[in-house]
Amino acid sequence: MMLNKTFIEREDYVGARNYNPIPVVISHGKGVWLWDVEGNRYLDMLSAYSAISHGHGHPRILKALTEQASRLAVCSRAVHHDKMADFLETLCRLVDMDRALLMNSGAEAVETAVKAARRYGYQIKGIPENKAEIIVMEGNFHGRTTGIISFSSDESYKKNFGPFLPGFKIIPYGNIGALKAAITANTCAVLTEPIQGEAGVLMPPQGWLKEVEAACRANDVLLMVDEIQSGLGRSGRMLACDHEDVKPDVVMLGKALGGGFLPISAVVGREGVMGVFNPGSHGSTFGGNPLAAAVGKAALDTLIDEKLVEQSDELGKYLIDKLCGLNSPYVTAIRGKGLWIGIDIDPNKAVARDLCMKLLAEGLIVRDTHKVTMRLAPPLVITKGEIDWAFERIARVLTV
Ligand SMILES: *Cc1c(COP(=O)(O)O)cnc(C)c1O
């Protein structure tokens, strides 16, 4: 571990300490595999929280990237470019929405959705100026901007970063009574993750999202679903809200949209909402640049042509079944949808991070979330054989 250590020490000296990574220094990746600077190989069971759903260096997306990079990478939004229409059409068709607005990071997509909801509230619904409210969920994760942390319920995300943005109401996740009680005439939107990823792959009760949809419809409230981590096949459906046949007004996408290469995010929505943007009301220098459009289009085409959504569903069930068959003294709960699995560890029996370190020694990259949950989210291109390989090692670590 000498070489790894050298890089880590140098980084620690000059980098802000806003992360606490596991002590391994990755230098290259291919498909589901990663190699560190000492040549050790690991199976990536984290996929950068869905950003690597297509695997590392997917050849088809890499080809689109290099071809486009050598033609035209970036041009300002002061002009049109010839990759934009293709990408927008594919994106809107896949999630059955009318219009899309392209940004870069997931947090920017969420900020965009918040702006859309507020404008909808004032211009369409007729909410009095500066009174619009958005209902959000306890345990949410929507990003790290000052606006977004304003409605986080996690103190460590907020401490000493105030003052915070008003206009948000936090209610318990999965509680339809609380949601109905929170809606007022000034509510413009409900913003939720269909499954809470960072909170530990937490699922609301079956039928909850459908009831949220009905409550939104009944009160002229927008349903805005953050599918930045859950979307594009992660949960075994194109969108996680497809599990409940829910049709949101606004969907935020990111992570996997970049095909494992670039930060690409989008807000995709119905005409009635997306129509609130006019020239000058929003924008981003790099949002929707030609390189991003070419890569994003290739990422979506690959998802469909390689049937990655179906694969996530099938292999996710296969892995969850195997995990549920484990008789582990540490595990208190296992849940998941598609290749997206949370394993709760009894804190009295083991520390999740210690188990992740043992898995690292076995050749698996796994990270804990909120100290007590191990999250498994391998690239969707993983094979059954690779899952068996991973399971054998997980079983070894969780049952000794
Ligand atoms: C990761 C994530 C975000 C933020 O995306 P960034 O690209 O890190 O800004 C927002 N919402 C959800 C659900 C996420 O998982």
Q: Can you tell me which atom of ligand 1 is nearest the CA of 226? A: 13
Catalytic annotation present for 141: yes
Burial class (CB in 10 A: 0-12, 13-18, 19+), 97: buried
Tell me how far the alpha carbon of residue 153 lies from the centroid of ligand 1, in angstroms: 15
Tokens representing 369? 């979330």
Tell me how far the alpha carbon of residue 198 lies from the centroid of ligand 1, in angstroms: 9
Ligand 1 near 105 CB (within 6 A)? yes
Nearest residue to 397 (alpha-carbon basis) of 382, 366, 384, 387: 366
Q: Can you tell me which atom of ligand 1 is nearest the CA of 198? A: 15
Ligand 1 near 110 CB (within 6 A)? yes
Catalytic annotation present for 226: yes
Question: What is the pLDDT, as a whole number, of residue 343?
Answer: 97
Catalytic annotation present for 337: no
CATH dotted code for 72-305: 3.40.640.10
Mean pLDDT by 10 residues, the chain (400 residues): 87 94 95 97 97 98 98 95 98 98 98 98 98 98 98 96 98 98 98 97 98 98 98 98 98 98 98 97 97 98 98 98 95 97 96 95 94 95 98 94
Query: Which residue ranges does the chain devote to CATH 3.40.640.10?
Result: 72-305
Domain 4-58+307-398 has CATH 3.90.1150.10: yes
Query: Which residue ranges does the chain devote to CATH 3.90.1150.10?
Result: 4-58+307-398
Ligand 1 near 226 CB (within 6 A)? yes
Q: Can you tell me which atom of ligand 1 is nearest the CA of 230? A: 13
pTM of the model: 0.98
Question: What is the pLDDT, as a whole number, of residue 1?
Answer: 58
Tell me how far the alpha carbon of residue 142 lies from the centroid of ligand 1, in angstroms: 5
